[in-house]
Amino acid sequence: MESTEDIKEKVRQKYSEIALQDKEANQSSCCGSGCCSTEVYNVMSEDYATLEGYNPEADLGLGCGLPTQFAQIKKGDVVIDLGSGAGNDCFIARAETGESGKVIGIDFADAMIDKARNNAGKLGFHNVEFRKGDIEKMPVTANSADVIVSNCVLNLVPNKDGVFKEIYRVLRPGGHFSISDIVLVGALPAKIHDAAEMYAGCVAGAIQKQAYLELIEINGFKNSVIQKEKQIIVPDDILRAYLSTDEISEFKNSGTGIYSITVFAQKPAEACCQPECCSK
């Protein structure tokens, strides 16, 4: 069995490769995983083009939702994007928080950080910063963010509980998150779970929807709500790479579902336990 660090390194290497690909190459694959489907981009991804702040050079076509659209970002907010890639969600968030706010993108792939910083430089943004780091141990001080967003990233992380603990630590009391991710209802066939390309893409690292929502509650967040949900239909040209015809038929009739969800939740305002932690 692969260790947590082995899995993370595999994902890191894959997304380092993706950072060097053009958008067209990523769009024809499973969230950049190279699954060789011509259908998946339109199924998995959402269209950012109409949102203020959208920058085509920062859009690698890797998301599964529009968390910034639902994040209730206000002028002057400090916003953190987990798994910020080439900066797409950060630049959308910057349009919401304005020049008086700050946006911090965190990614653990050097190539992604370089690409995002280059994009920010071209745009002349001085209040958008990209930091290299693991979202299980964010390079951010406690109680410092008003809003946290993330787009199709936590499903790649083995220790999801650790990420939610970090989100709680970093959010100010009363702060909130809006996260888009992939979850499951029922069990995926083992062959898909074991496929590295699918893991570094979108689906095989996902956990059960109910377990995902319970992690949010267990870690102390309140007022959680699913802001958007849609079922993901994995095209046959991907399934055929891992399953026989009979196995595909059995999978489709099993009631198993793959869903993209965008979830909102708040850190309680009363979470402040030190006088200084509530200051802006």
Which 3 state secondary structure label does DSSP give 30? coil
Tokens of 20: 């060097």
- Which residues have C-beta within 8 Å of that of residue 136, sequence separation ≥ 6? 157, 159, 162, 163, 166
**Confidence at residue 177, expressed as pLDDT on a 0 to 100 scale:** 98
The tokens of 174 are what? 């009363």
Could you give the strand order of the β-sheet that contains 102-107, starting from the edge strand earlier in sequence?
A: 128-132, 102-107, 78-82, 145-151, 171-185, 257-266, 222-232
The residue with greater pLDDT, 200 or 155, is 155
The arrangement of secondary structure in 4-269, i.e. its CATH architecture, is 3-Layer(aba) Sandwich (3.40)
> Model's pTM, two decimal places?
0.83
The neighbour count for residue 167, using CB atoms within 10 Å, is: 26
Contact between 133 and 73 (Cβ < 8 Å)? no
What's the Cα-to-Cα distance from 250 to each of 4, 205, 232, rounded to whole Å?
Answer: 31, 21, 17
Average pLDDT over residues 227-250: 84
Q: Pick the residue with more confidence: 14 or 257? A: 257
Q: Are 119 and 19 within 8 A, CB to CB?
A: no
Closest CA to 44 of 19, 21, 27: 27
Confidence band, pLDDT 50/70/90 cuts, at residue 62: confident
| Per-residue pLDDT reduced to its tens digit, 131-150 | 999 999 999 999 999 999 99
- Closest by alpha carbon to 228, among 84, 63, 77, 52? 63
Please state which of the ranges 3-17, 127-141, 239-253 shows the lowest mean pLDDT.
3-17
Count of helices and strands (H, E) across the chain: 12, 7
What SS3 class is residue 63? coil
Average pLDDT of the residues in 264-278: 71
